[in-house]
Amino acid sequence: MIVIVDSRELVRDGFKAMFLRLGYPATSTCDGAMEDFLEAISDADLKHVQAFLIGECADHAETVSQIRARTKAPLIAVLDQSSLTDILFHFENGADDVIKKPVHVTEILARAAAIRRRSVAEAPKQELGRLRIFNDGRDPEIDGVSFPLPRRERRILEYLASIGDRRASRTQIYNSVYGVLEQDVDECVVESHISKLRKKLRAALGEEVIDSKRFLGYRLMKPSDVKQPERSIQKKAKSIAHVSLAQDLAAKVS
């Protein structure tokens, strides 16, 4: 989830709409309500925040201080007009990066991902056999070829890749895809998205890569965990049987 902090409602709504079009949940608040926002959100939900975008604020230093007291999520200052003085001011007051509008939200996501990689050694992409998954809004790739997915399914795949071998519950996936403050979408929709995603990946890869366990949740399987498709196993079994029969016949003839 992306959190936009700006005193101007029009700016907040504009950024939210752009992130949502890419499938990234976003919420917003003005700097005067930041303290209430941080008190209302739990530590578990705060972990889903990918970055804070800080625009026009009455007190930038205080806003950054309030955020830093709760989380180490990337802080990106967004400037309408930049000067060396403005840039240095934001870096000195705790910003991880400073960007100037106009800026595409894809660039913001890429910058946030780069900050996370520097701080927690997050990989720019995850390799899962023939499947390559990115963390910056790009579609995944299979055998080096782009594999387009609807934005919700892509976000689910990115989230599962980001947590490694751990399992994610339906609620955790929902919070990652729709945002912790979303109230209008039923949580059950996650299962429909996952079902469609699994079907597409299975058809393209010929193997199951999303493992699900009732009450435990979902996870992406490592290549070593991926079982061969049943048809492939049956073909190999038949091939082995034919070879054994041929060897038996040859032995009898000799």
Q: Is residue 205 included in any domain, yes or no?
A: yes
Predicted local distance difference test score (pLDDT) of residue 184: 66
Predicted local distance difference test score (pLDDT) of residue 216: 86
Are 113 and 7 part of one and the same domain? yes
In the chain (254 residues long), the average pLDDT of successive 10-residue segments reads 91 90 84 84 80 89 88 91 88 91 90 79 68 82 90 89 85 80 74 92 88 88 52 45 48 48
Predicted local distance difference test score (pLDDT) of residue 240: 40
Question: Is the bond into 102 cis (omega within 30 degrees of 0)?
Answer: yes
**Of the candidates 165, 148, 254, the residue with the CA atom closest to the CA atom of residue 201:** 148
Are 103 and 138 part of one and the same domain? no
Q: Is residue 244 included in any domain, yes or no?
A: no
Predicted local distance difference test score (pLDDT) of residue 234: 46
pTM of full prediction above 0.85: no
Predicted local distance difference test score (pLDDT) of residue 185: 75
Compute the radius of gyration of the chain from its Cα atoms: 24
Instruction: Judge contact between 172 and 151, C-beta under 8 A.
Output: no
Predicted local distance difference test score (pLDDT) of residue 208: 87
CATH classification of the domain holding 140: 1.10.10.10
Number of domains the chain is built from: 2
Are 102 and 129 part of one and the same domain? no
Predicted local distance difference test score (pLDDT) of residue 14: 93
Q: Which of 120, 149, 181 is the last residue of a domain?
A: 120
Predicted local distance difference test score (pLDDT) of residue 75: 94
Predicted local distance difference test score (pLDDT) of residue 22: 83
**Of the candidates 103, 91, 90, 96, the residue with the CA atom closest to the CA atom of residue 71:** 96
Are 159 and 191 part of one and the same domain? yes
Number of Cβ atoms within 10 Å of the Cβ of 233:
11
Question: Where in the sequence is the domain holding 110, given as residue range(s)?
Answer: 2-120
DSSP per-residue string spanning 88-114 = HHHHHTT-SEEEESS--HHHHHHHHHH
Predicted local distance difference test score (pLDDT) of residue 96: 93
Q: Which of 58, 85, 120 is the last residue of a domain?
A: 120
Predicted local distance difference test score (pLDDT) of residue 236: 42
Query: How far is residue 47's CA from residue 250's CA, in Å, rounded to a whole number?
Result: 66
**Residue at token pair 């998954």:** 133
